[in-house]
Amino acid sequence: MEIKKVAVIVGSLRKESFNRKVANEMIRLAPEGLELNIVEIKDLTFFSEDIENDPPQEWLNFKQKISDSDAVIFVSPEYNRTIPGVLKNAMEIGARPPKLNSWKGKPGAVVTVSPGAIGGLGSNQTIRIAASNVHISVMAQPEAYIGGIKDKLLEDGVTVDEKTEKFLVTFLEAFKAWTEKF
Ligand code: FNR
Q: How far is residue 147's CA from residue 153's CA, in Å, rounded to a whole number? A: 11
In one-letter notation, the amino acid at residue 155 is: E
| Site to substitute for ligand 1 among 18, 79, 123, most atoms within 8 A of C-beta | 79
Give residue 1's pLDDT band: very low, low, confident or very high (50, 70, 90).
confident
Phi then psi for 151, rounded to 5 degrees?
A: -85, -10
Q: What angle in degrees, to the nearest 10, is found between the helix axes of 57-67 and 85-95?
A: 80
Q: How far is the CA of 124 from the centre of ligand 1 (A)?
A: 13
| pLDDT, tens only, 122-166 | 999 999 999 999 999 999 999 999 999 999 999 999 999 999 999
Sorted by where each starts, the structural domains of the chain and their CATH numbers stand as: 4-179 (3.40.50.360)
| Site to substitute for ligand 1 among 80, 86, 126, 152, most atoms within 8 A of C-beta | 80
Give residue 115's pLDDT band: very low, low, confident or very high (50, 70, 90).
very high
Give residue 17's pLDDT band: very low, low, confident or very high (50, 70, 90).
very high
| pLDDT, tens only, 33-71 | 999 999 999 999 999 999 999 999 999 999 999 999 999
